[in-house]
Amino acid sequence: MESLRLDSVLLRVDFRLWHTITALLPLGSFLTAVLLGLWLHFESATGTHCGVANYLPSISAAIGGLTPERYIWRTGIALHTAPRYMVTLMYYNFHRNRSATPSVWYQLLYKLTCLLNIVEVSSLVVLTYVSSTENPDIHEVSFISFVVCSEVYMFFTCVLLKWSAYKPMSEQEQQSLRWKAMMFVANVSSFLTSVYFYFRHNWYCEPGVYTMFALCEYIVVVTNIAFHYTAVLDFPTFSVTVGSATVSKNS
């Protein structure tokens, strides 16, 4: 086991503040893109292939082809990506150190969960910067990869937290698991509902159905961000520190 002693600190930021900013970057850029789409490009943002009434732009319409909405979304994603990778590594070490004698299945699960999160974030970056009009195949593969990895990652994270929790679970652990489970269920439910409304719109072209599809998409985005934000419950006393340190090995 290694121990770390800080010799000097040049910068220290509370993790809650750091992660709040990280979460607000995609959330703020997403909401801004949607509102600007409604304000500046209502007809083109809400238009449907069959011309029925629609009142909300889909995510692809809001952030994919319209400007400045596209640039705002891309900027938010770019700025939040590095901190997301950092939190992924934090969780890797968090789960690895939670059990003194982890089973083979536990080790496999936390490593797979880390990989899923890396693929999720990377897929989000690719589908953000490669639009469906530029390269539909890459965009589609990235979108599917993002959805699958994010859903499985959420489920595995809940399993890991329950598996490695102290018995009985502390109030902090219970709160973290409860919020994660709620966001996971809401995310999956909203995604499946959005698929239903999408096909119903394409089959029947009913007024307002595409609006419900777009609304479900929004809930998927918000619950995904909220799920990842629960990291502040798992690292309540942590800080992001820049400085010099001495590493020593304990026998």
pLDDT band for position 250 (cuts 50, 70, 90) = low
Range of the domain at 89: 14-235
Q: pLDDT, tens digit, for every residue of 114-125? A: 999 999 999 999
Determine, yes or no, domain membership for 245. no
Determine, yes or no, domain membership for 196. yes
Query: Looking at the predicted structure, is the pLDDT value of residue 74 above 60?
Result: yes
Determine, yes or no, domain membership for 242. no
Q: pLDDT, tens digit, for every residue of 86-98? A: 999 999 999 998 8
Q: If you average pLDDT over residues 84-111, what whole number do you get? A: 91
The DSSP element (H or E) to which 81 belongs, if any, is: helix 69-96
Q: Give the count of domains, the chain.
A: 1
- What's the pLDDT score for residue 90? 97
Determine, yes or no, domain membership for 9. no
Neighbours of 5 (CB within 10 A): 8
Determine, yes or no, domain membership for 247. no
Determine, yes or no, domain membership for 78. yes
Q: pLDDT, tens digit, for every residue of 152-189? A: 999 999 999 988 877 778 899 999 999 999 999 999 99
Neighbours of 210 (CB within 10 A): 28
Determine, yes or no, domain membership for 243. no
d(CA 70, CA 78): 12
- What's the pLDDT score for residue 177? 96
Between the two ends of the chain, the Cα-to-Cα distance in Å is 7
Whole-number average pLDDT of the chain: 93
Query: Looking at the predicted structure, is the pLDDT value of residue 112 above 90?
Result: yes
d(CA 176, CA 199): 35
Determine, yes or no, domain membership for 244. no
